Structure 1
Amino acid sequence: MTGPESTKETDNKLNKYFSGRVVRKDLTKKLKGSDNVPVYVLEYLLGSNCATDDEELIKKGVSRVKKILSDNYVRPDEAELIKSRIKETGYYTIIDKITVRLNERRDIYEAEFSSLGIREIEIDSETVKKYDKLLGGGIWCIVKMEYMPESSPRTPFVISGLKPIQIPNMDINEIIGRRKEFTKDEWIDILLRTTGIEPSKLKYPAKWHLLERLVPLAENNYNLCELGPRSTGKSHIYKEISPNTILISGGQTTVANLFYNLSSRQVGLVGLWDVVAFDEVAGIRFKDKDGIQILKDYMASGSFARGKDQINANASIVFVGNVNQSIPSLLKTAHLFAPFPDAINSDSAFFDRIHYYLPGWEVPKFRPEHFTDGYGFIVDYLAEYLREMRKRSFADHIGNYFRLGNNLNQRDVIAVRKTYSGLMKLIYPDGSITKEEAREILEYALTGRRRVKEQLKKIGGIEFYDVNFSYIDLEENSEHFVTVPESGGSKLIPEGMGRPGQVFAVNRNDSGKIGVYRMELQVVPGTGRYEKSGLGSDSKAKEAVQTAFSYFKANAKSVSQSISTKEKDYQLHVQDLNGAGMTDGLALAAFISLCSGALEKPVHEQTAVLGSFTIGGSVSSIDNLSDLLQVCLDAGAKKVLIPISSARKISAVPPELFSKFQISFYEDPVDAVYKALVLN
């Protein structure tokens, strides 16, 4: 059953089994529109006053919440009015975000009120020890204030009571025990409605992506990356839903702020929060030169060294940002991590620490109909549940039904197990799961990690060639492979026979990038003219194809007596298929193209040409053969032409990669033509 009746039934069950723990999300929407406070603050108040399905009681509760917000929530433009009320009445209760710092000179802790705009208010050590997040980014609190001019020469404001806005206790067994009252789909919908999203408006894969955003809240030291279009709610979870997460807007921070302050000897954000999220990855900057390296080490091990100390922390790291071009375009010209800053972009080891790449382009842009009016948990109740679940692990449950394939290295295995464990905590917290349900989670986990690995292959080459992720069904002893839609490249060298003159070359350019190049040739009656196009202003590439034509004129008869170089005109067009930039290694492919067009004989299906030659016909040796072959495989090649002088380098190619091709060795350019063309 789907639709409104199904939603109503789920709402009824939710109120029955979690009475006092749920709230109607349309109430949150109404109040959120008028006050700029996080969702978890609003729902803390709504949960205290409106946790019922009785319409009359809800109406009264909403009125009370509105009054609390009207009287106690501090709006920045009304700060002076609130300060006046505190002075005139002598005491007053406010709702504000409080941040605390240690004043070493005075040996006291001082609080700063975000909206009220007052600072240097002394706060006792016991409160700071009890709520240590006050020291790292601040938390929303209900604060009882007093006005005592004689208490301090610095400020007359005094904190007489402080209570963080969060549910005081959480019985984790309540959720684990009552989860069985709901089907898998009902439970997923409840989790999504808890975050404010209406699941009936989403396609099934998008639901999983939105659940994946919650995994860092449930899993220790989990590294997630989500890049995609704007308006898909990428940072919403980490800013609004949980009081246990902090969002670093703009991406700029310091080692002292994020990890450890050597002067104050205090652990930074990774020790205070469950999740540290970087908004707008393009802006990630550290004022310290070693910031990126420390972050990379922390992502790998959950620890970092500062001074003489090795410090452990459990915070998950999340990167969110925007992709400003289409995914096919990005894959042709760069890779899916391209939005990261240059300081990170060239470091494949940094990206290898990421456990899951969430494809934000598969999440819809949110419109009003995507936000729910149904019931969900009070967000703080869910946040505290997820925090408690960080103490548990379901990573070993994979072994009940499956084992992972041999293309996964240790980092891949850790990543997949962490994702699997996190999703288990969300959907099957009691550990009760069928084989097909486990398969669904495992395939989702493998896909996200393979997406990381595919991009690493583009950045780092042969080091990351093992991307064919699979798992083995223990019962059936059968191997199953997972793919990603963006693995891409397979159509650069398409299946089927090309027309005469069409040749594909794979070569490295001056910048070190490996490109895939297509030659197209047009042969018409003429006087032996030779024209070239598509090379732009690259003089070395132009020189290479000119070398090909000169060699063609001098050696055409060695290929076939039927070739005419004086009664035909040849127009050669070169296309850089993956945006790597032109190369000076095009002479051989251009020569084969000229011979193919002149003889009207096509090249063998899905053939890639490696190597080049000089004006005298000397064939160049190939460097980094493994990297070139990996690109050939990605581009869709089945047959590869390799100079015989490079045959000794075959031993350095992984057998799994080499076995993917039919290899033809050639001795000189004319021999390469015979090996490339279909002459029958």
Structure 2
Amino acid sequence: MTDLDAKIKDIFPEESMHKTPDRYSFFSGVNVPSFIKDWLIKKFSNDDEIDTEGLYDFIKKHIPTKDSNIRSKLLNGDVIQILARIIFESDIKSGEYRFQIPDIGIKSGEGKVSPYLARQEGLLKEGENWGVVTMQYVEPDGKEKGYAEMVKFKPFRPYKPDFEYYCQAREQFTLEEWVDFLICCMEYNPNSVSFESLDQKLLFLTRLLVFVEPNLNMIELAPKGTGKSYIFNNLSKYGWQISGGKITRAKLFYDMSKNTPGIIPSYEFVSLDEVKTISFDNPEEIQGALKNYMEQGSFTVGKSKLTSLAGLILLGNIDLDAYKRPLNNHYFEELPEAFQDHALIDRFHGFIEGWYLPRISEDLKLNGYSLNVEYFSEILSYTRTQSFYSAIVKELLDIPKNADTRDTNAVIKMCSGYLKLLYPHVRSAADISPQEFKMVCFDPAFEKRKIIRQQLAAIDREFTDRMPDIKVRGLE
């Protein structure tokens, strides 16, 4: 056990767990994300010993697979209770709540929520949810077809994190220890030989900015095998990943034909993975909608204006030369044509140069202590609601009056994200040294926005590569 392992276990005795590269071998054939797996392992563990019989029994009884025959069991009159991914939809015309469970074949229109359950305020949330659902089959009465009725639902929220305790815990770590701690929480080994410097580790942590900062929009291009898909698909139930395929405005924002919100208003962040393979049925319409949303955090549906705090991150592969540098110096040419609109690109706050990140190797897999993924994701989600970090950033920065607003907003938002991740315990500008703030918050944020501006200047004469002369106060 390393010194960091001992510290994590001592400071977070209930929230931490020991993780090994093969810890998920119990879940062979079971399609659930890391936050579910961690919760189950913790539930059936005692002093790091796993009750394998109890774990396997729970999985068999409550986590369905393709071979579970849930539909047949419902038709046979069984009352089914499972832990699953459920999508709730409200039907304005009928006044009913409907649900679907895609992983077991219960489609839209085949599931209804009981009227009693639907009336319980705050229980059901539009869109995707994880939870324990109890349902039964309702026989057709001649007027309508049979359907699965949900009679009980318990949302999967096993932790209500004590944010203040988390912040106080930060004070017991050095900056370097805390950076390593966060990498552990991402399920990677901070002591891997693949990590060459603190700057590289900070670049790795940059992927978490969209988890903690609302309405933050990023682009990451990286070679294959650097783990970007895993992070955005497994660390939080509050994010949604789109992997290739066709995207419509209705799917992203709001489906007026079904009166249901799309992906963006339903989640905290949306990652567009394998972005080269994504297409749009109406590119100009998507461009216009994204420009408005990314600028204002709102979108129009009919005569109504709706808002969302979800950020976007584009994830794509990029080809490198023998020196591990991009073959094409115009990075945005790697994006789909719909995302090559210059005004749209300008609305992205920062660019992550993923070719500086290590490829995932066996040595990079965590074998030590970290926070339970579900607990960590709840902490990250809660941090999004804390707006005082942005106020601290503004107090720490000296911004010229003629500074470009988009550049300024981008730097402030990314600085705020870094501050939330690295210094969650600060409550005023006096709580952090200007030197440290500049090194691990301001400089990385400034550089990532600068890449956006440099790339725009290279392809459009309307833009220059000059960034505002923003300074950190208290430094000469």
Q: TM-score, normalised by structure 2?
A: 0.88
Identity %: 26
The verdict on how the C-alpha distance between 1:224 and 1:32 changes in structure 2, with shifts beyond 3 A counting, is farther
The verdict on how the C-alpha distance between 1:328 and 1:182 changes in structure 2, with shifts beyond 3 A counting, is closer
Q: 1:258 aligns to what?
A: 252
Q: 1:95 aligns to what?
A: 83
CA apart distance, 1:224: 0.9
The verdict on how the C-alpha distance between 1:359 and 1:230 changes in structure 2, with shifts beyond 3 A counting, is same
What SS is found at the alignment partner of 1:122?
Answer: strand
Q: 1:397 aligns to what?
A: 392
Q: 1:413 aligns to what?
A: 408
1:143 pairs with 2:137: no
Q: 1:433 aligns to what?
A: 432
Q: Deviations over 1:652-675 (max 9, x none)?
A: xxxxxxxxxxxxxxxxxxxxxxxx
The verdict on how the C-alpha distance between 1:83 and 1:310 changes in structure 2, with shifts beyond 3 A counting, is closer
| Equivalences for residues 78-477 of structure 1 within 5 A | 78-80=67-69, 82-83=70-71, 90-103=78-91, 106-119=94-107, 120-124=110-114, 126-127=117-118, 130=122, 133=125, 135-136=126-127, 138-147=128-137, 149=139, 154-155=145-146, 157-201=148-192, 202-203=195-196, 204-250=198-244, 252-288=246-282, 289-326=284-321, 335-345=330-340, 347-393=341-387, 394-398=389-393, 401-404=396-399, 408-431=403-426, 432-440=431-439, 441-461=441-461, 463-468=462-467, 470-477=469-476
CA apart distance, 1:405: 6.4
Decide which moves more: 265-274 or 423-432: 265-274
Equivalent-residue separation in structure 1 for 2:19 and 2:402 (angstroms): 45
CA apart distance, 1:148: 5.5
Q: Deviations over 1:170-198 (max 9, x none)?
A: 22212112221222222222221112111
Decide which moves more: 394-403 or 144-153: 144-153
Equivalent-residue separation in structure 2 for 1:308 and 1:281 (angstroms): 31
Query: Alignment partner for residue 34 of structure 2, among 32, 39, 53?
Result: 39
Q: Which has the larger radius of gyration?
A: 1
Decide which moves more: 109-118 or 363-372: 109-118
CA apart distance, 1:113: 1.8
CA apart distance, 1:434: 2.0
Asked if 2 retains the 8 angstrom alpha-carbon contact of 1:330 and 1:336, the reply is: no
RMSD: 2.8
CA apart distance, 1:141: 2.3
CA apart distance, 1:317: 0.9
What SS is found at the alignment partner of 1:318?
Answer: strand
Asked if 2 retains the 8 angstrom alpha-carbon contact of 1:121 and 1:155, the reply is: no
The verdict on how the C-alpha distance between 1:89 and 1:168 changes in structure 2, with shifts beyond 3 A counting, is farther
Equivalent-residue separation in structure 2 for 1:327 and 1:445 (angstroms): 28
Q: 1:49 aligns to what?
A: 44
Q: 1:639 aligns to what?
A: none
How many correspondences in the alignment? 460
Asked if 2 retains the 8 angstrom alpha-carbon contact of 1:402 and 1:471, the reply is: yes
Equivalent-residue separation in structure 1 for 2:394 and 2:297 (angstroms): 25
What SS is found at the alignment partner of 2:82?
Answer: strand
Mark the runs of 5 or more structure 2 residues left unpaired by the alignment: none
CA apart distance, 1:17: 2.2
The verdict on how the C-alpha distance between 1:437 and 1:59 changes in structure 2, with shifts beyond 3 A counting, is same
Equivalent-residue separation in structure 1 for 2:390 and 2:308 (angstroms): 20
The verdict on how the C-alpha distance between 1:343 and 1:149 changes in structure 2, with shifts beyond 3 A counting, is closer
Q: 2:63 aligns to what?
A: 73
Equivalent-residue separation in structure 2 for 1:389 and 1:264 (angstroms): 33
CA apart distance, 1:458: 0.8
Equivalent-residue separation in structure 2 for 1:429 and 1:197 (angstroms): 21
CA apart distance, 1:402: 4.5
What SS is found at the alignment partner of 2:203?
Answer: helix
CA apart distance, 1:240: 0.9
Query: Does 1 or 2 have the higher relative contact order (CA < 8 Å, sep 6+)?
Result: 2
CA apart distance, 1:395: 2.7
Equivalent-residue separation in structure 1 for 2:96 and 2:374 (angstroms): 31
Mark the runs of 5 or more structure 1 residues left unpaired by the alignment: 478-680
Equivalent-residue separation in structure 2 for 1:299 and 1:358 (angstroms): 18
Equivalent-residue separation in structure 2 for 1:322 and 1:476 (angstroms): 39
Asked if 1 retains the 8 angstrom alpha-carbon contact of 2:228 and 2:315, the reply is: yes
The verdict on how the C-alpha distance between 1:476 and 1:43 changes in structure 2, with shifts beyond 3 A counting, is closer
CA apart distance, 1:151: 8.3
| Letter of the 1:458 counterpart | A
| Letter of the 1:176 counterpart | C
Q: Deviations over 1:101-124 (max 9, x none)?
A: 345665423222222213412114
Q: Deviations over 1:234-271 (max 9, x none)?
A: 12222111000001121532212211233444432222
What SS is found at the alignment partner of 2:106?
Answer: coil
| Letter of the 1:223 counterpart | N
The verdict on how the C-alpha distance between 1:474 and 1:140 changes in structure 2, with shifts beyond 3 A counting, is closer
Q: 1:20 aligns to what?
A: 14
Equivalent-residue separation in structure 1 for 2:102 and 2:148 (angstroms): 15
Asked if 2 retains the 8 angstrom alpha-carbon contact of 1:28 and 1:39, the reply is: no
The verdict on how the C-alpha distance between 1:256 and 1:88 changes in structure 2, with shifts beyond 3 A counting, is closer
| Letter of the 1:351 counterpart | I
Asked if 2 retains the 8 angstrom alpha-carbon contact of 1:396 and 1:417, the reply is: no
CA apart distance, 1:24: 1.9
The verdict on how the C-alpha distance between 1:261 and 1:84 changes in structure 2, with shifts beyond 3 A counting, is closer
Q: TM-score, normalised by structure 1?
A: 0.63
The verdict on how the C-alpha distance between 1:476 and 1:381 changes in structure 2, with shifts beyond 3 A counting, is closer
Decide which moves more: 465-474 or 17-26: 465-474
Equivalent-residue separation in structure 2 for 1:327 and 1:143 (angstroms): 52
What SS is found at the alignment partner of 1:181?
Answer: coil
| Letter of the 1:294 counterpart | A
Q: Deviations over 1:4-24 (max 9, x none)?
A: x6xx32222222222221222
Q: Deviations over 1:187-210 (max 9, x none)?
A: 222221112111111233332122
| Letter of the 2:164 counterpart | N
Asked if 1 retains the 8 angstrom alpha-carbon contact of 2:241 and 2:270, the reply is: yes
Equivalent-residue separation in structure 2 for 1:469 and 1:267 (angstroms): 38
What SS is found at the alignment partner of 1:304?
Answer: strand
The verdict on how the C-alpha distance between 1:63 and 1:334 changes in structure 2, with shifts beyond 3 A counting, is same
What SS is found at the alignment partner of 1:231?
Answer: coil
Q: Deviations over 1:71-101 (max 9, x none)?
A: 321111x132x44555668333222222233
Equivalent-residue separation in structure 2 for 1:252 and 1:333 (angstroms): 26
CA apart distance, 1:338: 1.2
CA apart distance, 1:335: 0.7
Equivalent-residue separation in structure 2 for 1:66 and 1:257 (angstroms): 37
Asked if 1 retains the 8 angstrom alpha-carbon contact of 2:318 and 2:326, the reply is: no
What SS is found at the alignment partner of 1:115?
Answer: helix
